[in-house]
Amino acid sequence: MKRTIDDNIKLNGKQQQVKLVEDTVKNDTFFPKGVHIDDMDRSIRDNFKEKFEIVSQGKAIPFLDIFSIQRFSEFMKTWQNVDETNTINLPFIIMVRENSEKGTNLGGTFNIASDITFPVWKRNTVRNGRATVDFYQIAQPVNIDITYIVHLFTSHQREVNMMDEMMLHAFKSAQYYVLVNGHHMPLFLESMDDDSQVGDLEKRKYYHKKYTLKLKGYLLREEDFKKLPSIDRIILKTHASYESNAYCEVKEVDLNCDLCLNYKFNRKSPNSQTYRIPMKLEFYYDNQNPVNDYSYFLNGNLVTLPFIAEKGDELTVSHNLHKQNIINITVCAKKID
Amino acid sequence: MNLAPLNNNNKFFSENEYNYYVSQAREHLASLDTKIIFYKVNKAKSQIDDLYGEAYEEEVTLDGAIEIPAIIKIDASENKAYVSDKSILRFEEYGNLTASVLIQDLEFYNANIVYGDYIAYRFSETQVLYFQVANDSQKLSSKNTFLGYKPYWKTITCTPVNKGEEFFRA
């Protein structure tokens, strides 16, 4: 019966995914930890030592790890359960590091052939008195596949059975996940082979079972990590433009008269536009053909050229012209004292 | 079965001479003073797994040790590695032990050495080596006889075992 409740179980799939990602950056640096080959070797060894223990006749079968072919690495080991010639007695389990090779891209896609970095974390901060954020970016990890072979040497079929069952249960899913510096990496059981010494009647006989495991991991270099500040101030300058389709523009233009107004209508603008007169003026000329269908209204009253407008009057120009093109109606005035 | 004395070679070699040579051999062994220590597995007291028929050390019960004079030969040891393809976890395996013993001695000590029994040998004052019988030579040949007159010795072949002294003290 379970006496405690693991909070992780309450998380749904997506929440669990997010938690796993967040766990990788739960440290003081806000970056994930780097991953090197020795990190993977160490994690695999520790994981196997801790979680794949076989207890037979009340004793745990010793687990040995040898990742180097150097004689010194064996020489320096302090073996338990050895005979008078320092040869380890059966049974025991040994893990041997095999080949490492160019890795499998688990997404089934291609690598990004550059050193660009991608944000994995965003952190609020204050810089120069302004609230802003820093982006923590890492490069795409480099995939690596590492093979490990776990050897079981024993005199008893029952211990072989125990190991077989434990491995098959652990790898009943497609893979078994190993935590390497906070990164979850899949470990696959590739094969289970028998290399027992049983053929020669006048030799010592023992079982030798081999379990080939492949770790599909990745490498992350700390020197590729980047912390980039975000933009903390934007000065936005805007310029109102009346050249939009929905506006009619009235401009004062310089045509060597006191005031020249240019009413510019386009296809979507309203048919009339009003302008407040800044001074007393006499309007005397425009650029239109008199046959065109347009009119001047001063304070709402129809007027025709020439006409005088007082300061503050509103001059409205309206037209019924076909609006396929832009219509420019320019009207000129001279100042009256 | 006819248990009458053999007379097939009586003209040149008789039972008396046979016994004489056996006694000489015994003297020779006594002068060598090399002995095997025989541990008979007590099948009645030992427990085995009902499926595989195998036993852990503590499930095996041995009868008391019997010292039997023998001419001993230990083959050269082998330099081996458990993970042989990478030469990792090197170990040195003792060579097999062959012990030539007189059949009359075996009868005298009531030592029925069979396949699976254990043999120890005092290699030095401080070292005892342990072996398991891999060939009990139950079927003898002419070379085990005096000129074809009755077998009188046999050679037991044993392989080294991976058990500590505690197993044999129990």
Which tens digit of pLDDT belongs to each residue from B93-127? 889 999 999 999 999 999 999 999 999 999 998 88
pLDDT band at A164 (very low <50, low <70, confident <90, very high): very high
Does the pLDDT value for residue A211 go beyond 90?
yes
Residue in B52, B58, B127 closest to A157 by CB: B52
pLDDT of B67 > 60? The answer is yes
What is the pLDDT at residue A255? 66
User: Is pLDDT of A305 > 60?
Assistant: yes
Least Cα separation, residue B29 to chain A (angstroms): 26
State pLDDT tens for residues B2-57: 777 777 667 777 888 888 999 999 999 999 999 999 999 998 998 888 888 888 88
Q: CA B136 to CA B155: how far, in whole Å?
A: 8
Q: If you write DSSP's letter for every residue of chain B in order, what string do you get?
A: ---SPP-TTTTT--HHHHHHHHHHHHHHHHHHT-EEEEE-B-TTT----TTT----GGG--BPPPEEEE-EEEEPPPEEEEEETTTTEEEEEEPPPEEEEEEHHHHHHTT----TT-EEEEE-SSS-EEEEEEEE---S--GGGEETTEEE-EEEEEEEE----HHHHH-
Q: Are B136 and B114 within 8 A, CB to CB?
A: yes
Higher pLDDT: A257 or B62? It is B62
CA distance B55 to chain A (A): 8
Chain A, 217-256: which have a CB under 8 Å from a chain B CB? none
What percentage of residues in chain A have a pLDDT greater than 70? 85
pLDDT at A56: 86
Which chain A residue has the Cα nearest residue B164?
A83
In tens, the pLDDT along B130-152 reads 999 999 998 999 899 887 888 89
Q: Is the pLDDT of residue B164 over 80?
A: no
Confidence (pLDDT) at A265: 82
CB A173 within 8 A of CB B62: no
The yes-or-no verdict on residue A225 having pLDDT over 80 is yes
State how far the Cα of B131 lies from the Cα of B156, in Å rounded to an integer: 11
Q: Name the residue in chain B with its Cα closest to that of A159.
A: B56
- pLDDT of A280 > 60? The answer is yes
| Chain segment A288-299, per-residue pLDDT in tens | 877 777 889 999
Return the bridge partners of A217, or none. A144
Distance from CA of B142 to the nearest CA of A (A): 22
Phi, psi of A42 (to 5 degrees): -65, -40
- The pLDDT score that the predictor gives to residue B159 is 92
In this model, does residue A198 exceed pLDDT 80? Answer: no
Q: Where is average pLDDT lowest: A92-96, A198-202, A226-230?
A: A198-202
Q: What is the per-residue pLDDT for B16?
A: 85
pLDDT, tens only, A113-124? 677 888 887 888
